[in-house]
Amino acid sequence: MEELDNSSHDGLHSNESSGDEGGSKDVDTKKFRVFNPTTEMDDPKFELGLLFKCKTDFINAAKSHGVKYGRKIRFKKNDSNRCKAICRGKRCMWNIYCSVRSDKVTFQIKSMLLTYTCGRTTYHGLASVTYLANKYLEDIRLNPNFNVGDFMIKVHKDLGVSIIPNVWYKVRAKAKEMIYGDVMSQYSKLWSYCEELQKANPDSNVFMTTTDNNEGDDEFQRFYWNLNGISCAHAIAAICDTGEEPEKFVHDCYSKEAYIRAYKPMISPMNAEQMWKNSDMSPVLSPENIKLLGRPQKVRQREPDELALGKKQNKQ
């Protein structure tokens, strides 16, 4: 089975010469494989010497393994230099020990026992809101209005985990925050947005005003984006304050030259019907008269200010 020991032999293994799981000496005599979280996170394959770019990748991989195989994976000896993943199942000895290498960043599996002696469970507590939001981030990005029932079925089919509707709403909110960022980070990008908007639309006018809050920071007040080529009242006031003429900031489409260019292709008059030349083409038939379903309407639709049918105006 995939979830059983996939090493060379059963028991506790170590790539350290001393066999001590806490050893810090790195073995550089062979090329070790580097874990790729983008392609391997759904079903991690653990092996001795496997390298992780950071401890977070190892923890997420162990959690993903626990979700896939329904195991109660927990972490002990978890600090900046080491981390040990264990199974909290009854009398289960499954464990993976990982410690930092000499670069103080990369973590490497130093020992592991991949034999489970416990049964599968759906109450492992690993399919958290953050885990589900990360796993289904692209699905929610493509379909933000994912139906709650469909999502619950998908999670149960993929992970064998049952969730309640309230979890889906939290997952969607978390995923949207990861996709679009939180409110504060979005507002912090407004000036960059204004500059990019002005760069992409040089003929338009972009304005944003702010006010000082109690802490002395700029607080968003209002945003203007003028697309019609004529400056708004606020822009005209700002232009006059600088001593410029507002006419210079009016779009060229309102000029006399642009008007002449627009009406230069003239529609010439044509002869009356009696003076038309008979065409050699076969006559065109009228479309078929299709009788619509239902009773034909005979009473015209009255305007809102007209009296309803059958009502008389009261005498004053």
pLDDT tens per residue across span 133-186: 888 888 888 888 888 888 888 888 888 888 888 888 899 888 888 877 766 776
Q: Region 115-124: what's the mean pLDDT?
A: 81
> Residue 41's pLDDT band (boundaries 50, 70, 90)?
confident
Q: Which of 25-29, 71-75, 224-228, 309-313 is most confident?
A: 71-75
Q: Looking at the domain assignment, is residue 298 inside a domain?
A: no
Distance CA 172, CA 169 (A): 5
Residues 165 and 201 in one domain: no
Residues 213 and 135 in one domain: no
The mean pLDDT of the chain is: 77
Residue 81 has pLDDT above 60, yes or no: yes
Residues 174 and 89 in one domain: no
pLDDT tens per residue across span 61-70: 998 888 888 8
Q: Looking at the domain assignment, is residue 44 inside a domain?
A: yes
Q: Which helix (H) or strand (E) holds 183?
A: helix 183-187
Of the residues 206, 234, 254, the one at which a domain ends: 254
Residues 239 and 171 in one domain: no
Q: Quick one: which of 104, 105, 87 has its CA closest to 96?
A: 87
Of the residues 228, 254, 280, the one at which a domain ends: 254
- pLDDT score for 1: 37
How many folded domains does the chain comprise?
Answer: 3
Amino acid at the residue 256: K
Residues 177 and 195 in one domain: no
Give the global pTM: 0.48
- pLDDT score for 227: 64
Q: Region 79-97: what's the mean pLDDT?
A: 88
- pLDDT score for 22: 45
Q: Looking at the domain assignment, is residue 69 inside a domain?
A: yes
pLDDT tens per residue across span 191-208: 887 788 777 777 677 778
Q: Looking at the domain assignment, is residue 218 inside a domain?
A: yes
Q: What range defines the domain where residue 239 resides?
A: 189-254
Residue 15 has pLDDT above 50, yes or no: no
Q: Quick one: which of 85, 90, 62 has its CA closest to 75?
A: 85
Residues 19 and 107 in one domain: yes
Q: Looking at the domain assignment, is residue 50 inside a domain?
A: yes
Higher pLDDT, 184 or 1: 184
For the ranges 119-133, 167-181, 240-254, which has the lowest average pLDDT? Answer: 240-254
Residues 164 and 234 in one domain: no
Residues 143 and 231 in one domain: no
Q: Looking at the domain assignment, is residue 66 inside a domain?
A: yes
> Residue 17's pLDDT band (boundaries 50, 70, 90)?
very low
Residue 233 has pLDDT above 60, yes or no: yes
Helix axes 165-180, 148-159, angle to 10 degrees: 90
Residue 116 has pLDDT above 70, yes or no: yes
Say what the alpha-carbon torsion angle 249, 251, 255, 259 is, to the nearest 10 degrees.
Answer: -170
Torsion over CA: 252, 253, 254, 257 (sign) = positive
Residues 193 and 168 in one domain: no
Residues 44 and 61 in one domain: yes
Q: Looking at the domain assignment, is residue 135 inside a domain?
A: yes
Burial of 133 per CB tally in 10 Å (0-12, 13-18, 19+): buried
Of the residues 254, 271, 306, the one at which a domain ends: 254
> Residue 125's pLDDT band (boundaries 50, 70, 90)?
confident
Q: Quick one: which of 63, 65, 33 has its CA closest to 48?
A: 33
- pLDDT score for 84: 92
Residues 176 and 201 in one domain: no
Tokens of 301: 């639709």
- pLDDT score for 294: 84
- pLDDT score for 231: 64
Residues 65 and 108 in one domain: yes
- pLDDT score for 313: 56
Q: Looking at the domain assignment, is residue 299 inside a domain?
A: no
